[in-house]
Amino acid sequence: MKHNIVTFTSITVFALSGIIFWETGFAWLVFVAIVVAYLAITAYGSFKIQSNYFFKSINQGRKKAISLTFDDGPDPDTTPRILEALREKNVKAAFFVIGKKAAKYPELLRQIESEGHIIGNHTYSHSYFLGFFPGTKLKHDIEKCSEAILSAIGKSPVFFRPPFGVTNPIYAKVLKELRLHSIGWSLRSLDTRATNKYQIINKIIARLKTRDIVLLHDNLRVTADSVEDVIEHCLQKGIKIIPLSQLIEKEAYE
């Protein structure tokens, strides 16, 4: 992937620079510049899932429609409100659940699935330090989330979304071993920063385009407040909202 290309290019440039600049007295400045540039590019690739820096993520759809996706649930207060809004508007969404919450509220997962929505893996712990987990520990964390989902709905998910959109080479190896599809997004609602529903609605409507995968969070009250209006605005603009599996043309479960 891009990371391998950047690494190979950086090493090559580093070696050539040593040959070219060694006798000029500027070699160390050039070396530092190369290292800084390499670290900056790698950091950008780690935190920008759309860059597909370490591995390929699905960041937008194939059809002229959009999909709504929700992270960080299920939540006993806000998820049911969002499900009600989706049901009233006859819209199907995708929920990337945290495993420890799924294990605590399996009835919510069964409700999500029974109402025709997709459930994806968002790791078990959702730890801030997941990006530093060794491969064995990361694999166990992801597998544990899939097990919680399987226990609740009898299906094993294929869609996975890395917490915070952070990626690295360890994720690449683990996801390949587990045969999971990494799902990113093309439109971030920024609902985690919103103080009222209008900020979310305006953010989405102003930038929405067909094939978008929209990122929301079903553990936030402000998001629950906004969902019905977001859907209504989409319908008024003639934008279809379809299930994620249809938008990206991939099956959601094994």
* Residues that are catalytic: 71, 217
Q: Which sign does the torsion angle of CA 128, 130, 133, 139 carry? A: positive
The single residue listed with the structure tokens 């906004």 is: 226
Number of CB atoms found within 10 A of residue 154's CB = 10
Number of CB atoms found within 10 A of residue 159's CB = 24
Alpha carbon distance 142, 131 (integer Å): 13
Alpha carbon distance 70, 79 (integer Å): 9
Q: Are the beta carbons of 64 and 240 closer than 8 angstroms?
A: yes
Alpha carbon distance 60, 207 (integer Å): 14
Joined together, the tokens standing for residue 122 give: 């968002």
Nearest to 122 by CA among 164, 156, 60, 167: 164
Alpha carbon distance 42, 110 (integer Å): 39
Distance of CA 59 to the CA centre of its chain: 8
